[in-house]
Amino acid sequence: MTLQPLTIERMFLSWTLDVPVLLVVALLGFGYVWAARRTGEWRRSRTVYFCAGLATVLMVTVSFVGVYADSLFWVRAVQTVVLLMITPLLLVMGAPLTLLLATVPERTADRLRKAGRSVTARVLTFPLVVTVVLVAPTFVLYFTPLYEASLRNGFVDDLVHVGLVGAGFVYFWTRLGVDPTPRSDSYLVSLWISLTEVIADGALGLVVWLGPLIASGYYQARTWGPDIRLDQIIGAGVLWIGGDLAGLMFVGALVVRWRRDDERKAEQIDRELDEQERVVAKPGLWWENDPQLAERFRRLR
C-alpha cells in the first residue's frame, strides 16, 4: 500500500487493523478485569493503570504510528520509546502479578512464590542485570541487522515489540516494587539506576544522530517526507528526549512509592511505641509505677 505524506490531519485519520494485537489486548484486558472483580477487593486505580498500558499498545500499533512506523524512522522511534518505557510502566503499576497470585489456585501461587524467592530469580533481578535488560534492547535493535529485518518481516517486528515490552516490564517490576519481587533493593538504588538510563538514552541519541544511516537501503524507496538523514536526526531526538521524559514518569512514580512506604513505616513505628507505652503504664497505685518506691515497697513485703 502506497502511503501519502504524513500531515497533522493524517495523524488523526490514519488507522490500521492489527488483528493479533487487538486480540492480545482484548484478552489481557478482559482477563485482568475478570480477575479484579473476582478478588472482590481491588484498587480501581490499579485497573486504570493496567488498562492505560494496554491502550498505549493500541496507540502505537493501530493509530498513525502503526501506519507510518515502517516508512518513517522517527515514527518508529516513537513506537520504540512507548513500548519500552511507557507501556510496561503502566502495566506494572497495575500490579498484575499480585492479581495473578490472588487468582490462581493456592498450590500454583505457592510454586510461583517459591520460584520468585529462588537464587536464580535473585541473580536475574540484580540491579546491574535489569539495567542491562532495559538499556541493551535499543542498542541491539538499532545497531544490528535486526532493525531492518523488523521493517521487512512482520513476524520479526512482532517479536521486537514483545521483547521491548517484556524488557521494560522486568525493569519496572523490579524497580518499583508494586508486585512482590525476588529482591528488596532500596529506592536510592533505583534512582541511581535511573541516572544510568538517562546517560544511556543520551548516548543512544548521539550515536543515532551523528552515526551512519540506519537501514538506508530500505528508506530510499520513500519519495516523500524528510530526507533519510533528517528523518534519522528527528528519530534520534525522539529516542533521547522521549526516553528521558518517559524516565521522569518512572522517577515520579518511584518518589510517590518511596514517600508512601516511609509514611507506612512511620505509622508502624508509632503503633509499636504506643503499644510499648501501654505495656509499661500498667494500671495500679501511682507509687507502683515509680521504680524507687516500687522497690522499697517490695522490700517491706
- pLDDT at residue 295 in the model: 59
- pLDDT at residue 182 in the model: 84
Query: Which residues, 6 or more positions from 51, have their beta carbon under 8 angstroms from its beta carbon?
Result: 29, 32, 33, 94
- pLDDT at residue 122 in the model: 86
- pLDDT at residue 279 in the model: 57
Question: DSSP of the chain, one letter per residue?
Answer: -PPPPP-HHHHHH-----HHHHHHHHHHHHHHHHHHHHHS---HHHHHHHHHHHHHHHHTTTSHHHHHTTT-HHHHHHHHHIIIIIHHHHHHHT-HHHHHHHHS-HHHHHHHHHHHTSHHHHHHT-HHHHHHHHHHHHHHHHSSTHHHHHHH-HHHHHHHHHHHHHHHHHHHHHHH-SS--S----HHHHHHHHHHHHHHHHHHHHHHHHSPPSSHHHHTT--SSS-HHHHHHHHHHIIIIIHHHHHHHHHHHHHHHHHHHHHHHHHHHHHHHHHHHHHHS-SS-GGGGSHHHHHHHHHH-
b/e per residue 123-146 (b: at least 16 CB within 10 A): eebebeebbebbbebbeebbeeeb
The rounded radius of gyration (Å) of the Cα atoms in the chain is 26
Q: Provide block-wise average pLDDT over 10 residues at a time, the chain (301 residues).
A: 84 91 96 91 92 96 94 96 95 94 89 87 85 91 95 94 95 86 76 78 90 92 91 94 85 78 71 65 55 57 56
User: Quick one: 100 exposed, middle or buried, by C-beta within 10 A (0-12, 13-18, 19+)?
Assistant: middle
> How far apart, in whole angstroms, are the C-alpha atoms of residue 259 and residue 201?
27
- pLDDT at residue 166 in the model: 95
pTM higher than 0.85, yes or no?
no
> How far apart, in whole angstroms, are the C-alpha atoms of residue 226 and residue 238?
15
80 phi and psi angles, rounded to 5 deg: -65, -45
- pLDDT at residue 282 in the model: 53
